[in-house]
Amino acid sequence: MIYQREIRAAAAGHGDVKDITGEVVRLVAASGIQTGIAQVFVTGSTAAIVTIECEPGLARDLPEMLDRLVPPSRSYGHEQAWHDGNGHSHLQATTLGPSLSLPISRGEPALGTWQQIVLVECDIRARERTVVVTVMGE
């Protein structure tokens, strides 16, 4: 069986970290699937989906780490072509990745106690994001 739904999430802009665990858990439960896989995918090229302990310190540390690894700069090729200020946003999102696959066990995502599913906004402006959750199994 395959079940697919979307989550809409308003992201405030660069560095916003949104905990979407509750919505994903609700969609997995609504699917009725007990054993399988859930894929969580954000559409767009300047946002990412990861797991992390979503607490204020790490929610600040993750974007700061990304800015150290891939700092804002006008020298990126994307910036040279488009002059839109978000070349680093694309590269940061690519580094983290747009999707996450989670095992489903007993009708729930198999997450650790301190492991949440988060949307990481890398773009420089606020965005309305669409996260597609596909649950497959039996």
| pLDDT tens digit sequence for 28-60 | 999 999 999 999 999 999 999 999 999 999 999
In whole angstroms, what is the distance from residue 103 CA to residue 108 CA?
8
In whole angstroms, what is the distance from residue 51 CA to residue 116 CA?
5
Domains present along the chain, CATH in parentheses? 2-137 (2.60.120.460)
In terms of pTM, does the model score above 0.85? Answer: yes
In the DSSP assignment, the letter for residue 55 is: S
In whole angstroms, what is the distance from residue 78 CA to residue 86 CA?
8
| pLDDT tens digit sequence for 85-103 | 899 999 999 999 999 999 9
